[in-house]
A = this chain, B = another copy of it.
């Protein structure tokens, strides 16, 4: 009988000591072997004397394992895992494909269509349920989410549970992780995985009133090793080292020295690289100044910026895929990063796509009981999500071997954003073409009845947000 399937997390549970502080005192790892190689991974403590080791089989077939630990109760445990092929929507983790694109481990293209709900794991069960259903409804396949709680405008409620347990003084004991919190996070990531949605886990961020942004270095490092041990085996995990790393420089003054330097980020990256045996995607997101995305550990550029038509310049600068994870949000709050229209958001998605990048969504509408998607999840109220879903469908129709940027002769999408040509001239000396008029706002595709060749003109209605798709027959 099969134990699990390829790329599906398999968990081994072991009983050990609960004396002392198992989070800091107990060493546990396991080596998983297969004819083709081996994988070494750390175990982790979940509380109540229980330890776990999580494993993601990278190839089908028979795997055997053996544990190593300083605790005799955990050491030398062995077992066998029979791994079948992937089934259903399981296409394995996402990797960089070629230079500028993404694909799942099984080779199928991954068109990243992400959104952002920074603090959704801290919300009530109802809200989390609603968020799952909205993600699925609109076809978002990545969600940016913080591990730590968020302190910011519209985010002032005290969470029920935290990644760390409180100490006797009411502060946090950064040596003891809270099993209740992490069990919840497990369920969320697991369910995202089942829905084929990437969990872009933000490991640090500056919007903090509890001290998580300014822990001592040993606590930072232990937290990262724990995250790697606990979550690397989920096929859908992406590591985002920070939201707005460049704001984590002395914000909050001396009393809350949320300060991290480049050597901190580089050390964090080393830890994740060393303890995630599967090499999940890694990025670090900016506010104003881009990180040096040429660093070898950075797999793709996760950037903030309204000019998503700069995707081509950015990807050439760093030689890596570019995701505009924040291009401002559809909404109506006081901050300009959170009050663009649905048309503007949709336009930024299209511009990112036709210039060879990817764009992330977010929504900040007031007037819904203080529930703003960007942070809490919940219901989407904007006009862009269904247009983004429409765009995703159009992009999925592009043959896998075709890249939209730079434009090629066989299959091209000419997107006019706010420009309103009433006609467009083309010169296609070789071959015959079909032409589709795409209205990216009204979500229609009209195939023109004739075929075209040589010098020809395609008429447009003179509205904004139109595109022409030419396909060589």
> Which A residues are closer than 8 A to B by beta carbons?
331-336, 339-341, 344, 366, 416, 418-425, 462, 464
Closest CB of chain B to A185's CB: distance in Å? 33
Contact B334 A422 (CB under 8 A): yes
A332 and B422 in contact, given A341-B464, A464-B341 (Cβ under 8 angstroms): yes
A336 touching B416, Cβ below 8 Å? yes
Max count, chain B CB within 10 A of own CB: residue among A422, A423, A424: A422
Which residues on the B side are within 8 Å of A423 (C-beta)?
334
The reply to whether A418 and B344 form a contact with Cβ atoms under 8 Å apart is: yes
CB-defined contacts of A421 to chain B, threshold 8 Å: 332-336, 339
Known: A332-B462, A462-B332. A340 touches B422 (CB 8 A): no
Q: Which residues of B contact A336 (CB under 8 A)?
A: 416, 419, 421
Contacts of A464 in B (CB 8 A): 341
Chain B residues near A424 (CB, 8 Å)? 334
Which of B334, B344, B418, B425 is within 8 Å of A425, CB to CB? Answer: B334
A333 to B421, CA, bound (A): 5
Q: How far is the CB of A347 from chain B (nearest CB, A)?
A: 10
Contact between chains at B425 and A341 (CB < 8 Å):
no
Interface of A is mostly: loop
| 8 A-B pairs whose Cβ atoms sit less than 8 Å apart in the complex | A332-B422, A334-B421, A334-B422, A335-B421, A336-B421, A339-B416, A339-B422, A341-B464
B-chain residues with CB within 8 Å of residue A333 when the two chains form the complex: 421-422
Which listed residue (B340, B419, B462) contacts A419, Cβ 8 A? B340
- CB closest residue in chain B, given A328: B419
Q: Closest B residue to A337 by CB, please name it.
A: B419
Please give, as numbers and ranges, the residues of chain B lying within 8 Å of A332 by CB-CB distance. 420-422, 462
Chain B residues within an 8 Å CB radius of A425:
334
**CB proximity of A330 to chain B, nearest CB, Å:** 9
**Cα of A175 to Cα of B473 in the assembled complex, Å:** 58
CB distance from A401 to the nearest CB of B (A): 29
Q: Does the CB pair A340–B418 fall under 8 Å?
A: yes
Knowing that A333-B421, A336-B419 are A-B contacts, what are 8 other residue pairs whose CB atoms are under 8 Å apart, sorted by A's residue number?
Answer: A334-B421, A336-B421, A339-B416, A339-B421, A339-B422, A339-B462, A340-B419, A341-B418
CB distance from A268 to the nearest CB of B (A): 34
A111 to chain B, nearest CB (A): 26
Complex: how many Å from CA A332 to CA B460? 10
Complex CA distance for A425 and B153, rounded to whole angstroms? 13
Instruction: Give A334 to B424 CA distance when docked, in angstroms.
Output: 5
Residues of B within 8 A of A339 (CB): 416, 419-422, 462
Which residues from B are CB-within-8-Å of A419? 336, 339-340
How many Å from the CB of A418 to the closest CB on chain B? 6
Nearest-Cβ distance from residue A363 to partner chain B, whole angstroms: 13
CB neighbours (8 Å) of A366 from chain B are 422
Determine the distance from Cα of A243 to Cα of B135 in the docked complex, in whole angstroms: 51
A344 surroundings in chain B (CB, below 8 A) = 418
Give the Cβ gap from A415 to chain B, nearest Cβ, in Å.
11
Complex: A419 Cα to B366 Cα, angstroms: 14
Interface pair A341/B420, CB less than 8 Å apart: yes
**Interchain CA distance A423-B367 in the complex, whole Å:** 12
A424 to B423, CA, bound (A): 41
Q: How far is the CB of A3 from chain B (nearest CB, A)?
A: 53
A424 to B335, CA, bound (A): 8
**CB of A456, distance to nearest CB on chain B (Å):** 13
Nearest Cβ distance between residue A73 and chain B, in whole angstroms?
58
- The 9 A-B pairs with the shortest beta carbon distances in the complex, nearest first, are A332-B422, A332-B462, A336-B419, A339-B420, A334-B421, A339-B419, A339-B421, A334-B423, A332-B420
Distance between A175 CB and nearest chain B CB, rounded to angstroms: 40
**How long is the Cα–Cα vector from A19 to B344 in the complex, in angstroms?**
68
- CA gap between A339 and B420 in the complex, in Å: 5
Name the distance in Å between A1's Cβ and chain B's nearest Cβ: 58
| Closest Cβ neighbor of A335 among chain B residues | B421
CA A366 to CA B416, docked complex, whole Å: 18
